[in-house]
Every structure is written in C-alpha cells, then in structure tokens.
C-alpha cells in the first residue's frame, strides 16, 4: 500500500502564495494530483500530473497554480499563486496505481483571507 503525507498548508492573505508538498511511501504510481474540499461541498480535482509530466488543471486555477512531480523523491508539489478566498479548503494529495488502486493523504488546510 501507499502512504501519502501532505505539508505546506496555512493562512495567507488574498493575492499571496503557498506551496503544498506530498510525500509518497512508494513510487509505483501512475497519476498523482491534488483535490480540495470546502465545508458542505464535494471534493473536486485541482490538478493532476502523470509520471511523464503531463498535467491537467481545473479551470478555476489555470494560470495561478502549478503542479510538479519528482519521481526520484516520490513527491508531488502544488505551487499556488494569486490565491483567492474561494480557494479556501482542505487540500488532499491523491495517487493512483497502475492497477487502479486509489490512495489519499489526510489533507492540509489552506485558508485565504480577504
């Protein structure tokens, strides 16, 4: 099994930046990504990245967020710039194995003040 541990969340003012990191216990993963969930809302995809570096972003974060991956270190990062109050949520690291297993981190809180 794979264990995912997120870090880098915190409180930031609107327009500020944060960088989230996720460390995986194994490097036998196809797609990794970040999802977020605000209170009372569903968990939505923010950004994903394949082992080869192909990325996909939610329309709401395009141009502001950048996902990256270091396969040698078993890490995936999310650079968040120009943060808005509506970005406030718990951010979860996700990883999928080649056999279809789905793994989740415990989540890290991101709060953006007006």
pLDDT at 111 over 70: yes
- What pLDDT score does 28 carry? 67
| Calculated CA dihedral for residues 32, 99, 72, 2, nearest 10 degrees | 80
pLDDT digits (tens, 9 = 90+) for 87-105: 999 999 999 988 889 999 9
- Collapsing DSSP to helix, strand or coil, 7 comes out as strand
pLDDT at 27 over 90: no
Q: Taking residues 13-42, what's their average pLDDT?
A: 93
Find where tokens 């939505």 sit: 44
Q: Taking residues 4-14, what's their average pLDDT?
A: 97
pLDDT digits (tens, 9 = 90+) for 28-70: 688 999 999 999 999 999 999 998 999 999 999 999 999 999 8
Q: Taking residues 76-91, what's their average pLDDT?
A: 98
Backbone dihedral angles phi then psi of residue 13, each to the nearest 5 degrees: -80, 155
How far are the Cα atoms of 23, 50, 61, 112 from residue 18, in angstroms, in the given order?
17, 22, 13, 10
pLDDT at 85 over 80: yes
């Amino acid at each position: 099994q794979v264990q995912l541990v997120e870090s880098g969340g915190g409180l930031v003012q609107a327009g500020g930046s944060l960088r989230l990191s996720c460390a995986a216990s194994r490097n036998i993963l196809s797609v990794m990504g970040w999802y977020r969930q605000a209170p009372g809302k569903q968990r939505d995809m923010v950004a994903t990245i394949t082992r080869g570096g192909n990325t996909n972003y939610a329309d709401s974060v395009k141009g502001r967020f950048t996902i990256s991956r270091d396969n040698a270190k078993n890490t995936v990062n999310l650079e968040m710039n120009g943060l808005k109050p509506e970005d406030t949520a718990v951010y979860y690291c996700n990883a999928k194995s080649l056999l279809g297993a789905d793994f989740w981190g415990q989540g890290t809180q991101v709060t953006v003040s007006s």
